[in-house]
A and B are shown apart, each in its own frame.
Chain A
């Protein structure tokens, strides 16, 4: 071993590197710059990381802890271990909440993604620019509206006897539909309302995904004679699959946490037919003042979302194509 290397105090220098003072000075300056850059980067990240630690990670951890206690806020917390989890397993209302959330996600998210893709493809087709902008704005506008206000208005419009929707359906001979008073129809109404509010977002995602498809690929497909459904299935869909994955993942995460629409439109009814997992959590924690049990439901919901998301990413290796 060279005595030069053993006495070398500079990081990363090999014994074969020249000891040109100018080079050493440049390297010192460069490592100083790298340090400053790293520091600046960390400083910019710091507020976000602090926010995540304080407002997200901390409360999540606290929820885990709370789920092991019985606590009504006004009396001291009482350690009960996993009793709340055992209770949840036999609580038909909580299980119904999770089941309703699952049903909601299956139908609402599937339709949201499908409709978003279809609308995006239609908007990307040949049409006058002004028409394209008009339709795009029209489909996006509901996304800007308050979910709570929308739910209130739709609740009135979907009233079985006095709602506007049944009035106009009656004019074309369709008997009144119990939109909010019959269990199946109530879920349909909530799903329809969710689609109206959120399809615009999916549409925008897919517009971005479709725009990123290279025209060269599409032209080549044209030359090879690929048209219509063949082109969609073999070219467009694979190339837009990363966007599809993103839309599906975010849709499922949001869908499993839906609250405002069923809470305002139906209060979870009739019965428990539109009561979602988050509604059960909210009612347990803030109406029944069972903070511990509400935290249990929150923890279980977190684990369900984690598992579903992990499953989606795991399966994505089979069908998502990255260019």
Chain B
């Protein structure tokens, strides 16, 4: 039999050698990096090397954070920073990107999360509890806690532990265009205005042309978890999920809020234990919003963070919309004069309970520089740092959690005139609570937004939409039964 010699490389041999080469390359790639050059022999007694530089990888908006970083480095020159900017159309998208980043091995030291993701990171054990550090540095932090309402602190807790020190917050209050209201001959809403007052104002300010197409809308909202139609669920005395207080937290309340009546009954964070999407109060709220949409008082709902609504508001095509302190500076930047808009509490329905979201930095549980990260986090919530940060300076782009920072001077240039409403939402309404955001907030939000849009476009009745939402939320909860079990 003839051999195959001299007839060229066979396919089998080629594949064999390809596999061997690929395996060799894989082994070479897995080899550890060569060690750093060591000091020469006999240098055991040599002088210690210069202090090593710590590099903190921080998820932030670099432009806003740079002034604070510069201040911090004046006293901590051995700490360098690497900024990681993560953007998204809304908080759950940012959270999804961060989770993907961490899953792919890109470690961080400090993240920045809002309520929508606090329990997500804590529940996944991505975030490190800061209880020990807070208790160790209690003297330094006393001043901060005195200046921040306890409901904001509680929103950053999970199962008895604190995970973040809140830096900014936003409660959904009602912004209104003063020019549009004046043109319609309508008085500005008062603090104790009702849902019927709201409806009358919205109807009076809606203008349509001869063909029936709306030229100005009385009200508009964005389909999202915070500030969409959640404020109406709250003022109608309900919630999307069953809420209860987790146990624990006494160390914090007794340590920093011993004399504050606002901490009475507060526990170790919130638990949202079961869905109640199709509660009659929720159906009533969604029905109301669908009804005013049918009447042409509101346009088709938008997706996203509300930026598109800003355009309509600033051009006088929209009378009212729910928004937080973040609109004060945004409207100024969009060219609105400081007296052309104002803000009021949400109207009263069954009660006047408000919803808010808050945000702050969190330390990665697997970070290599947790002590340095804590030092920065502590500095970050100092008044000097907050005053320097781009979020609050030169214009207020979001509401600072420090009560002392909300002053007439801060809002003199931007408006609104009724800026006291922002913190009054917390101080005068002790039942104000964070938006429901359990560890499964990402899929929960997708269901909330999806079924809301189906109801608002008429595909489903509000009752059918909320029944569908309830069923899917129940399935979601069933797949995640141990959300609030904190492993030791």
- Interface residues, chain A, CB within 8 Å of chain B? 10-12, 28, 31-32, 34-35, 37-39, 42, 46, 49-50, 53-54, 72-74, 156, 159-162, 170, 176, 178, 180-183, 267-273, 283, 286-289
Instruction: Determine the distance from Cα of A180 to Cα of B303 in the docked complex, in whole angstroms.
Output: 11
Contact among A73, A160, A170, A289 for B300, CB-based, below 8 A: A160
Among A49, A160, A162, A176, chain B packs the most CB atoms within 10 A around the CB of A162
Contact status A74-B125, CB under 8 Å: yes
User: Which residues of chain A come closer than 8 Å to B454, judged between CB atoms?
Assistant: 269-271
Among A28, A32, A74, chain B packs the most CB atoms within 10 A around the CB of A74
Check if B446 is an interface residue, CB within 8 A of chain A. Answer: yes
Contact status B457-A35, CB under 8 Å: no
Contact among B308, B317, B457 for A183, CB-based, below 8 A: B457
Among B300, B312, B442, B458, chain A packs the most CB atoms within 10 A around the CB of B300
Check if B65 is an interface residue, CB within 8 A of chain A. Answer: no
Q: Which of B335-388 contact A (CB under 8 A)?
A: none
Contact status A178-B457, CB under 8 Å: yes
Chain B residue nearest to A49 (CB atoms) is: B18
User: Which residues of chain A come closer than 8 Å to B92, judged between CB atoms?
Assistant: 287
Contact status A46-B18, CB under 8 Å: yes
Contact status A50-B453, CB under 8 Å: no
User: Which residues of chain A come closer than 8 Å to B124, judged between CB atoms?
Assistant: 72, 74
Contact status A182-B18, CB under 8 Å: no
Contact status A287-B443, CB under 8 Å: yes
Check if B214 is an interface residue, CB within 8 A of chain A. Answer: yes
Check if B254 is an interface residue, CB within 8 A of chain A. Answer: no
Contact among B2, B7, B213 for A31, CB-based, below 8 A: B7
Contact status A161-B299, CB under 8 Å: yes
- When A50-B18, A182-B457, A287-B442 are in contact, do A35 and B2 touch as well, CB less than 8 Å? no
Contact status B7-A289, CB under 8 Å: no
User: Which residues of chain A come closer than 8 Å to B442, judged between CB atoms?
Assistant: 287-289
Instruction: Determine the distance from Cα of A268 to Cα of B21 in the docked complex, in whole angstroms.
Output: 44
Contact status B299-A160, CB under 8 Å: yes
Contact status A272-B450, CB under 8 Å: yes
Chain A residue nearest to B8 (CB atoms) is: A38
User: Which residues of chain B come closer than 8 Å to A267, judged between CB atoms?
Assistant: 303, 449
A sample of 16 inter-chain contacts (CB < 8 A) reads A34-B7, A35-B8, A39-B8, A46-B21, A54-B22, A74-B124, A162-B317, A170-B213, A181-B457, A270-B453, A270-B454, A270-B459, A271-B451, A286-B100, A287-B442, A288-B443
Closest-CB distance, B101 to chain A (whole angstroms): 11
Chain B residue nearest to A27 (CB atoms) is: B6
Contact status B450-A269, CB under 8 Å: yes
Query: 1/0 per residue B262-288: CB within 8 Å of A?
Result: 000000000000000000000000000
Instruction: Determine the distance from Cα of A49 to Cα of B18 in the docked complex, in whole angstroms.
Output: 9
Contact status B96-A287, CB under 8 Å: yes
Query: 1/0 per residue B112-140: CB within 8 Å of A?
Result: 00000000000011100000000000000
User: Which residues of chain B come closer than 8 Å to A73, judged between CB atoms?
Assistant: 99, 103
Query: 1/0 per residue B1-39: CB within 8 Å of A?
Result: 011111111000010001001100000000000000000
Chain B residue nearest to A293 (CB atoms) is: B479
Instruction: Determine the distance from Cα of A104 to Cα of B322 in the docked complex, in whole angstroms.
Output: 37
Instruction: Determine the distance from Cα of A53 to Cα of B15 in the docked complex, in whole angstroms.
Output: 11
Contact among A32, A38, A74, A170 for B9, CB-based, below 8 A: A38
Contact status B443-A181, CB under 8 Å: no
Query: 1/0 per residue B80-108: CB within 8 Å of A?
Result: 00000000000011001001100100000
User: Which residues of chain B come closer than 8 Å to A162, judged between CB atoms?
Assistant: 299, 312, 317
Given contacts A35-B8, A181-B457, A268-B450, 20 further A-B contacts (CB under 8 A): A10-B6, A11-B2, A11-B3, A11-B7, A35-B9, A38-B9, A39-B8, A49-B18, A161-B213, A162-B317, A183-B457, A270-B457, A270-B459, A271-B453, A271-B454, A273-B459, A286-B96, A286-B100, A287-B446, A288-B442
User: Which residues of chain A come closer than 8 Å to B3, judged between CB atoms?
Assistant: 11
Instruction: Determine the distance from Cα of A269 to Cα of B223 in the docked complex, in whole angstroms.
Output: 11
Contact status B18-A35, CB under 8 Å: no
Instruction: Determine the distance from Cα of A160 to Cα of B308 in the docked complex, in whole angstroms.
Output: 13
Closest-CB distance, A258 to chain B (whole angstroms): 19
Contact status A11-B443, CB under 8 Å: no
Instruction: Determine the distance from Cα of A11 to Cα of B2 in the docked complex, in whole angstroms.
Output: 6
- When A73-B103, A161-B299 are in contact, do A50 and B9 touch as well, CB less than 8 Å? no
User: Which residues of chain A come closer than 8 Å to B312, judged between CB atoms?
Assistant: 162
Contact among B213, B453, B460 for A269, CB-based, below 8 A: B453
What are the nearest 6 A-B pairs in CB distance? A271-B454, A38-B8, A73-B103, A181-B300, A35-B8, A31-B6
Contact status A161-B14, CB under 8 Å: no
User: Which residues of chain A come closer than 8 Å to B125, judged between CB atoms?
Assistant: 74
Instruction: Determine the distance from Cα of A268 to Cα of B453 in the docked complex, in whole angstroms.
Output: 11
Contact status A35-B7, CB under 8 Å: yes
Closest-CB distance, A63 to chain B (whole angstroms): 15
Closest-CB distance, A55 to chain B (whole angstroms): 12
Chain B residue nearest to A181 (CB atoms) is: B300
- When A270-B459, A287-B443 are in contact, do A178 and B300 touch as well, CB less than 8 Å? yes
User: Which residues of chain B come closer than 8 Å to A50, judged between CB atoms?
Assistant: 18, 21-22
Contact status A39-B9, CB under 8 Å: yes
Contact status B457-A42, CB under 8 Å: no
User: Which residues of chain A come closer than 8 Å to B7, judged between CB atoms?
Assistant: 11-12, 31, 34-35
Contact status B459-A271, CB under 8 Å: yes
Contact status B457-A53, CB under 8 Å: no
Q: Which of B430-465 contact A (CB under 8 A)?
A: 442-443, 446, 449-451, 453-454, 456-460
Among A31, A54, A161, A267, chain B packs the most CB atoms within 10 A around the CB of A161
Instruction: Determine the distance from Cα of A38 to Cα of B301 in the docked complex, in whole angstroms.
Output: 64
Instruction: Determine the distance from Cα of A10 to Cα of B446 in the docked complex, in whole angstroms.
Output: 72
Among B103, B124, B308, B453, chain A packs the most CB atoms within 10 A around the CB of B453
Closest-CB distance, A2 to chain B (whole angstroms): 15
Contact status A53-B300, CB under 8 Å: no
Closest-CB distance, A201 to chain B (whole angstroms): 29
Chain A residue nearest to B6 (CB atoms) is: A31
Contact status A269-B303, CB under 8 Å: yes
Contact status A11-B9, CB under 8 Å: no
Chain B residue nearest to A46 (CB atoms) is: B18
Chain A residue nearest to B104 (CB atoms) is: A73
Instruction: Determine the distance from Cα of A43 to Cα of B303 in the docked complex, in whole angstroms.
Output: 52
Contact status A74-B126, CB under 8 Å: yes
- When A74-B125, A181-B300 are in contact, do A35 and B22 touch as well, CB less than 8 Å? no
Instruction: Determine the distance from Cα of A272 to Cα of B217 in the docked complex, in whole angstroms.
Output: 27
Chain A residue nearest to B26 (CB atoms) is: A54
Closest-CB distance, A257 to chain B (whole angstroms): 20
Among B3, B6, B214, B460, chain A packs the most CB atoms within 10 A around the CB of B6
User: Which residues of chain B come closer than 8 Å to A269, judged between CB atoms?
Assistant: 303, 449-450, 453-454
Contact status B213-A176, CB under 8 Å: yes
Closest-CB distance, B88 to chain A (whole angstroms): 11
Closest-CB distance, B195 to chain A (whole angstroms): 24
Instruction: Determine the distance from Cα of A271 to Cα of B459 in the docked complex, in whole angstroms.
Output: 8
Contact among A11, A53, A176, A287 for B6, CB-based, below 8 A: A11
Closest-CB distance, B46 to chain A (whole angstroms): 44
User: Which residues of chain A come closer than 8 Å to B317, judged between CB atoms?
Assistant: 162
Closest-CB distance, B81 to chain A (whole angstroms): 26
Contact status B214-A161, CB under 8 Å: yes
